[in-house]
Amino acid sequence: MIDYPLNRFTDMAALSDAEQKRLRSLGDTPILYKRAATIRAEGDPAPCIYLMLEGWVLASMVLPSGARQVTKVHLPGDILGTPSMALTSAAETLTALTDCLVAPVPLTRMRDLFVDHPRLAALFLMAVQIERIALMDAMAAMGKTDARKQIITFILDLHDRLARLGKAPGGAFELPMTQEQIGEKLGMTSVHLNRSLRVLDAEGLLTRTGRLVRLNDIETLRGLSQLPRRQLRTDPEWLPESREWGGPARDG
Amino acid sequence: MIDYPLNRFTDMAALSDAEQKRLRSLGDTPILYKRAATIRAEGDPAPCIYLMLEGWVLASMVLPSGARQVTKVHLPGDILGTPSMALTSAAETLTALTDCLVAPVPLTRMRDLFVDHPRLAALFLMAVQIERIALMDAMAAMGKTDARKQIITFILDLHDRLARLGKAPGGAFELPMTQEQIGEKLGMTSVHLNRSLRVLDAEGLLTRTGRLVRLNDIETLRGLSQLPRRQLRTDPEWLPESREWGGPARDG
DNA sequence: CGGGGCTTTGATTGTAGTCAAGAAATGTGG
DNA sequence: CCACATTTCTTGACTACAATCAAAGCCCCG
């Protein structure tokens, strides 16, 4: 029974007590990874996924050329490592950006979730689709947008996700990534990223003080961002009904 | 009961008779869309997903700037429109590249699938994860790769998917896309795509005759492609058991 | 108070975008 | 089956955004 942000699920539908309990008992005892630790490397066996409780985690893959592409910046409440559910070995490397807390969920336990709680399974599927849309959006930004707008889109996305967790007071937050890593996310070199960042700084749109980023004019930034605002479907009529009982609780 | 390629499911696990039957009765009567028809536009309501039986379909999104990004080229056996399951309106526009046949599946019917057949629900989830990995790969190729290698990766992916359907005899296939559309997929202008294509042609790696593409040296091309070959997890031990009975058949 | 990673800046190169126009292919109607 | 209209493809000339290479300054941490 761990205290874990359920927003990935509750954003889309109300959960019964039994469901909340089930989700909270889904993960094993959380593990603490230190900053820069590798949680799981590309190619490793992938017998579990992870619920993220605290910290920042980078998901990335390395191409044969040696170049690294960051595919996702994960925040608390995210579910890590799910793309690899369908593969014999992990598709992405998961690296701790800060000290962080993650609870492993053996895939065999996911089976029970699918059997006992079709509603939670459906919500899990929706969460995955949301991630997929995030990838589509990132891809569109990369393909069709110049560096400056891409940075705005990225920072704004982080801001909105942190704000939902109450972690971006006054439009400011700590960004624990090097410019190299941000560049690897956006598909540009750190040099070019740096220049573009200072342009944004000079324009007064955002201020950086060390790793602290402050969005000075969120509305203007939102206007410049090239992505549609997605509207979550809450309580879709196709969701299966809640089940009050959903199989034996694992921990008594 | 429609004849539909089940490879998206059977690639990963054997299906019981009941399961096959259920999948084949999932879709409504197939609809024929003519070339260039819009199956569903971005922003439309999205009450269903689609099973694809025949033809080619493009999934794309348009940015505020007016630029279009193609997010996926769909082939027979694919499941269309699933990203929008989690949204109030469709995230992508689905356009028929050729005359094509698709069977709509109302989302309410997906609910029954989740309730009656947890095993099929889990396989569906895995199929979605595969799509997500495809997006990650495409993203990596865009961010970290030059035009020539990106084209190789794209053509090779199409080839492999068609070959699995027996539609790329001798390493050749019809590609019913304009260079503009291919450019919109790869994040480059049609002019630049054209020049890069002719380079590949001049190098002898691939031959184009009208819309017919022939891969002359697949092994060399595969070596140049910058993506890892993903290995599907077949029959993962965490899959729920088959159910012989899975709710009332819809059509008797 | 070093030292190593990170950031910043400059100079130069190169890949890809833009604009434009002619050629080829494709589709349409008579 | 041909003639015309419309896309699509191809090519050239020029521009610009981003990569590369290199070095200096900064800052945090031990």
Q: Which CATH class is domain A146-224?
A: mainly alpha
- Running DSSP on this structure, what letter comes out for residue A81? S
How many angstroms away from the CA of B145 is the closest CA of chain A? 9
Q: Provide CB contacts within 8 A for A57, sequence distance 6+.
A: A39, A73, A74, A78, A80, A94, A95, A96, A97, A100, A102
As a whole number, the mean pLDDT across chain A is 94
Residues B56-102 have pLDDT tens digits of: 999 999 999 999 999 999 999 999 999 999 999 999 999 999 999 99
| Average confidence (pLDDT) over B204-219 | 93
* Residue B104 pLDDT: 98
* Residue B245 pLDDT: 64
pLDDT band at B249 (very low <50, low <70, confident <90, very high): very low
Domain coordinates of chain B in residue numbers?
7-138, 146-224
Candidates B61, B119, B238; nearest CB to A140: B61
| Average confidence (pLDDT) over A135-151 | 96
Q: Which long-range contacts (CB under 8 A, 24 or more apart) does A233-236 make?
A: A233/A12, A233/A126, A233/B85, A233/B86, A233/B87, A233/B88, A234/A11, A234/A12, A234/A13, A235/A12, A235/A13, A235/A14, A236/A12, A236/A13, A236/A126, A236/B85, A236/B86, A236/B107
Topology (CATH) of B7-138? Jelly Rolls (2.60.120)
* Strand D contact at CB of residue A210, distance < 7 A: yes
* Residue B19 pLDDT: 94
The answer, yes or no, to whether residue B148 has pLDDT greater than 70, is: yes
In window 171-190 of A, residues with CB < 7 A from nucleic chain D are 187-189
- Residue scoring higher pLDDT (A98 or A4): A98
Q: Is A91 on the interface with B (CB under 8 A)?
A: yes
Q: What percent of chain B has pLDDT over 90?
A: 90
Per the CB < 8 Å rule, is A129 touching B82?
A: yes
| Average confidence (pLDDT) over A114-138 | 97
* Residue B68 pLDDT: 96
* Strand D contact at CB of residue A147, distance < 7 A: yes
* Residue B117 pLDDT: 96
Candidates B106, B114, B127; nearest CB to A240: B114
* Nucleotide nearest to A190 in CA–C1' terms: C7
pTM of the model: 0.94
Residues B218-239 have pLDDT tens digits of: 999 999 997 888 999 999 999 9
| Average confidence (pLDDT) over B103-114 | 96
Residues B114-133 have pLDDT tens digits of: 999 999 999 999 999 999 99
As a whole number, the mean pLDDT across chain B is 94
Which residues make up the interface with nucleic strand C when CB must lie under 7 A?
Answer: A 178-180, 190-191, 194-195, 197-198, 208; B 146-148, 187-189, 191-192, 196, 210-211
* Strand D contact at CB of residue B207, distance < 7 A: no
Residues A64-84 have pLDDT tens digits of: 899 999 999 999 999 999 999
Q: What percent of chain A has pLDDT over 70?
A: 97
Interface of A with B in 132-151 (CB under 8 A): 132-133, 135-136, 138-140, 142-145
The answer, yes or no, to whether residue A94 has pLDDT greater than 60, is: yes
